[in-house]
Each structure stands twice: as structure tokens, then as C-alpha cells.
Amino acid sequence: MKRLDWTAMDSGNRARALDRPGGGEQDGLEAAVRRIFNQVWADGDGALRALTRRFDNVEVADFAVSDAEFAEAEAGLDPVLRAAMIEAIGRLKAWHSAGMGQGFEVQTAPGVACGRLLRPIARVGLYVPAGTAPLPSTALMLGVPAALAGCPQVVLCTPPRADGRADPAVLVAAKLCGMGQVYKLGGAQAIAAMALGTDSVPRCDKLFGPGNRYVTAAKQYAAMMAGGPAIDMPAGPSEVLVIADAGAPPAHVAADLLSQAEHGPDSQVILATDSLALLDAVELEVRRQLAELPRRDIAGKALQHARLFQVANLDEAFALSNDYAPEHLILALREPRAWLDKVQSAGSVFLGDYAPEGLGDYCSGTNHVLPTHGAARAWSGVSVASFQKAISYQEVSQAGLAAIGPCAVVMARAEGLEAHAQSVLRRLEGVA
């Protein structure tokens, strides 16, 4: 892990210190993704089988998960895990339901009623990673808001295991959310399949879910296609930034950093603190805890991208954080709520010593599908609104037209659009 004195650095060094891993590989990523899309476009399911053979080293004859596979997954799953998923679903429903938007109508002038309708997106495609570890929690995080939004068709893709089957916990999670259309398909080829459609996989209107750099690049490529699908957000390799004061327990801070580092070698973890003693203690704790982790090799590689920043004060730490715009932000502070107004850009915030990021990943109720790589400056995490369309409407009476029509005529003519003006004037002619 690299230790840096943030206060002593100039703006250029600060920007370089906050660089994400893999930033220089974008051109190669885009070219690889383009080739995959072209293959799927040209050869459909045949290309998907070839790409699965190449990248997952497994033969898959039928991508769709059968009823028998769902039943087998249900029968073999640890009932304790199933109960935990049901418990998590309850809290996810509570949180997402509380934040759901509503349609409305308002009279903007006498005789002018303007409103908004909310409608579910017809066909949504969900991606659930299973690279170094399957993520049934992601199936819950995507499945619950999709169900609450009322999406008529929900498609889920998840990579096959070495035996050609999908992870049983992912299948059970999908079923618990009411999803039965699951495909054993991973990586950029899964995104291409849901974006383009094949004989096996339906074409989707919007794509959701986190993934590695290839999955993220594939989603962005799909969104740029003419007539292509929308995407939820750029959601790639995981990251966390911890702002801690001198009172933060070093063991907790180290555990938070490692919890993200173990996701993958391209994950990034950052600590910003005004306490030199805490920096020393956390560094020792990370080394000690790392040695005990089953995924220490993966976490160790991620720690090569880690940054431990010493800041002059907490205001400086929050400025650093808002510039970085982390996926996860942990406030390991004595009065965390007092600092919440300082947060301007982050995917999800965890307040205090007893709110580990792991709760948000699984069962507190908030969603863990969050913007990464600085996208939190403008993007938000997944919610029910992500699965809906907002459609505006207006109803205008004769009196309403008389009241606001002249305004429209003036503005249309200022823009040189006489046909727009005439569409109003021809109606005004018949209004007393």
C-alpha cells in the first residue's frame, strides 16, 4: 500500500494519486468488446457458444436454465442461506418501496393540467457476476426493484461454472425475486446477447448489473449502438474510501479496506485520515488480517493500488473524497452524521463504527449496485426508478390555450420556428 501526504501534494500529483487501476487499457478494451459484439451479431448463439468455450472454458449446449436445474438448486441449497436471502429481500423491499416515485398532476395555469406517468420498462436484462465468486446478492439487488417496478419481462445472465451449470444460490435468489428466465452466459458476450438478441436470449431495452472492466465496457458500447439499450450506470471494479479520525478502531478500518480488496485484483481501497497514529495502526492491521484471508492472493494484488492518505484535517478528507467520488464511502468518525452534509459525490455512505460496507452489500436494505470509477459524480445507485420510464402529459382547455398560447408564439418566433407558432395561432383563432 502506498502512503501519501495529501496536504504536501500539488494538484497534478493529487490527480495521479487518485487514478483508478487499468485506466490506460481503454482502447484495448473497446476493441475487444467491439469484436465480441460483431461476432454475436453475425453468428448469434453459435458465437455465444464459441465465446463461452474460449473465456469460460466450458461447453454449454442450452443457455436457458431449465425447470429441473431450478428445482435441483432449490433442493441442494443450504436452508440457512435461503432464510438469509429471504430476510434480506424483506429489508430491500422496505427500503426500495419507501423511495418509490409517484405520478403526479399539477395545474400550471388555469386550464392547463400537466402530469407525469410512471411505466415499467418492458424488457430488462440483469447481469450477475460469478468470476472469482458467485454473487447471489446481486440477483436480489436487481430482482427486487425490477419486481417492484412491475417490469413484464426480466432476463438474467450469469456465467456458467466449470460443470456448465449456473450457481445454485444465484438461481434460488432469482426465483425468490420471481425471475424464471435465467441464462448461463457471462462476460461481455452476455451483455452483447441481451443488447442484440439471439435465438436463445431476448433483446432487452435496458441492461443492469456490475461486472469487470470488460462487462462495463460492453454495457457502454451497447448504450452507444443505434437503437441500443439503455444502461443503469458504469459499474465496474469495486472500490471503497474510508474517512477516519483518531478514534476509529484500526481493526475495523483494516477490515473495511480488505472487504473491497478481496473482490478482485483491480479493486481499489483508500483511507484518508488526519491521524498519523491511525495510519500506522491500520497498515499493521491490514498486513495481519490479510494473512488470515482465504482470498489473500486476490486482496494482495488489489492492495498494490491502495492509497493511505494523511490529510491536515477532515475537511480536506471530504474534499479528496468528493473529487474521487467513491462507490462506497465509510465515515469512521465519532460524529458521522454531523459530517454527512459534506458528502457531495458517493454511491453509498456508511456512518460510524458499526456500519460495515458488508451490511450494504447484503442485507441492510440499500442497493449495492452502485456507480464506480468516479461515475458517482453524476450517477446514482440502482432503485425502482431505474426500472421505470417517466412520461409527461398535458391537457389544455380553450381558456388554458388563450392564457399561455401567446407565450409559446413569442418564444417560437424568437427561435425562428414559425410552424411551431402557427400550431398555436391556428387554434387561438377559434378561441373566444
Q: Is 127 annotated as a binding residue?
A: yes
Q: Is 361 annotated as a binding residue?
A: yes
Cell 492472493, located at residue: 297
Q: Is 260 annotated as a binding residue?
A: yes
Q: Is 263 annotated as a binding residue?
A: yes
Cα–Cα nearest to 286, from 308, 311, 257: 257
Q: Is 328 annotated as a binding residue?
A: yes
Q: Is 420 annotated as a binding residue?
A: yes
| φ, ψ at 118 (rounded to 5°) | -110, 125
Joined grid coordinates for residue 257: 479496506
Q: Is 183 annotated as a binding residue?
A: no
Active centre residues (catalytic): 327-328
Contact in structure between 125 and 157 (CB atoms under 8 Å): yes
Q: Is 380 annotated as a binding residue?
A: no
Q: Is 107 annotated as a binding residue?
A: no
Q: Is 221 annotated as a binding residue?
A: no
Query: Residues forming the annotated binding site for NAD(+)?
Result: 127, 189, 212
Query: Residues forming the annotated binding site for substrate?
Result: 238, 260, 263, 328, 361, 415, 420
Query: Residues forming the annotated binding site?
Result: 127, 189, 212, 238, 260, 263, 328, 361, 415, 420
Query: Residues forming the annotated binding site for Zn(2+)?
Result: 260, 263, 361, 420
